[in-house]
Amino acid sequence: MKDLESLSATQAIKALAKREIKATNLLLSCLDRIGQKESIVKAWASLGKENALSRARALDKGAFQGLLHGLPIGVKDLYDTYDLPTSYGSPIYANNYPSADAVSVALMRQAGGIILGKTVTTEFATFKSGVTTNPHHSKHTPGGSSSGSAAAVADFMVPLATGSQTAGSIIRPASFCGIVGFKPSFGKVSIAGIKSLSITLDTMGCFGRTIEDVGLGVAAMSGDHRLAKIEALHNKPRIAICKTSNWSLANKETATALAVARHAAEIISKGAVADQKLPKTCDGLAQAQSRIMLSEMSRSLAFEHFHYPKKLSAQLSKQLIEGAQISYEQYAKDLQFANRARASMAELFSNEIDILIAPSATGEAPNIKDGTGDPIFCRGWTLLGLPCININMGNGPNGLPVGIQLIAGLGKDHFLLSAARAFALALPDPVLRDQA
In whole angstroms, the minimum distance from the beta carbon of 427 to a copy of itself comes to: 31
87 in active site: no
Does 192 bind a copy of itself (CB under 8 A)? Our answer is yes
324-383 residues in contact with a copy of itself (CB under 8 A) are 328-329, 332, 336
Long-range contacts of 29-38 (CB under 8 A, 24+ apart): 29/1, 29/2, 29/3, 29/4, 29/5, 30/4, 30/5, 30/72, 30/116, 30/156, 30/157, 30/158, 31/116, 32/5, 33/5, 33/155, 33/156, 33/157, 34/152, 34/157, 37/135, 37/155, 37/157, 38/157
In whole angstroms, the minimum distance from the beta carbon of 185 to a copy of itself comes to: 11
Query: Is the C-alpha dihedral spanning 336, 339, 345, 346 positive or negative?
Result: negative
101-130 residues in contact with a copy of itself (CB under 8 A) are 101, 103, 106-107, 109-110
Closest to a copy of itself by CB, 9 vs 92, is: 92
Mark residues 226-255: x for contact with a copy of itself by CB under 8 A, - for none.
x-----------------------------
Task: Give, to the nearest 10 degrees, the angle between helix 211-222 and helix 9-17.
Answer: 70
In whole angstroms, the minimum distance from the beta carbon of 387 to a copy of itself comes to: 14
Closest to a copy of itself by CB, 231 vs 275, is: 231
Q: Which of 22, 45, 29 is nearest to 123 (CA)?
A: 45
| Count of residues touching a copy of itself (by CB under 8 A) | 38
Does 200 bind a copy of itself (CB under 8 A)? Our answer is yes
Task: Please report, in angstroms and rounded to a whole number, the separation of the first and last CA atoms in the chain.
Answer: 24
In whole angstroms, the minimum distance from the beta carbon of 97 to a copy of itself comes to: 9
Q: Which of 8, 29, 42, 76 is catalytic?
A: 76
Within 352-399, residue ranges assigned H as helices are 376-384
d(CA 432, CA 417): 16
d(CA 28, CA 56): 10
Mark residues 80-99: x for contact with a copy of itself by CB under 8 A, - for none.
--x----------x--x-xx
145 in active site: yes
Q: Which of 49, 57, 137, 299 binds a copy of itself (CB under 8 A)?
A: 299
Closest to a copy of itself by CB, 252 vs 333, is: 333
- Using the CB atoms, write b or e for 97-110: b if 16+ within 10 Å: ebeebbbbbbbbbe
User: 290 near 379, Cβ under 8 Å?
Assistant: yes
Residue at 89: amino acid letter: G
Q: Which of 8, 145, 313, 418 is catalytic?
A: 145
Closest to a copy of itself by CB, 3 vs 329, is: 329
* Beta-strand runs (E) in 166-214: 180-183, 203-208
C-alpha R_g of the chain: 20
Q: Which of 169, 175, 222, 269 is catalytic?
A: 169
Based on the number of CB atoms within 10 Å of its own CB, is 389 exposed (0-12), middle (13-18) or buried (19 or more)?
A: buried
Does 51 bind a copy of itself (CB under 8 A)? Our answer is no
317 in active site: no
Q: Which of 39, 63, 306, 310 binds a copy of itself (CB under 8 A)?
A: 306
Does 224 bind a copy of itself (CB under 8 A)? Our answer is yes
In whole angstroms, the minimum distance from the beta carbon of 213 to a copy of itself comes to: 20
In whole angstroms, the minimum distance from the beta carbon of 192 to a copy of itself comes to: 3
User: 175 near 360, Cβ under 8 Å?
Assistant: yes
Residues marked as catalytic: 76, 145, 169
List interacting residues with a copy of itself (CB under 8 A).
82, 93, 96, 98-101, 103, 106-107, 109-110, 187, 190-193, 195-196, 199-200, 223-226, 296, 299-300, 302-304, 306-307, 328-329, 332, 336, 411
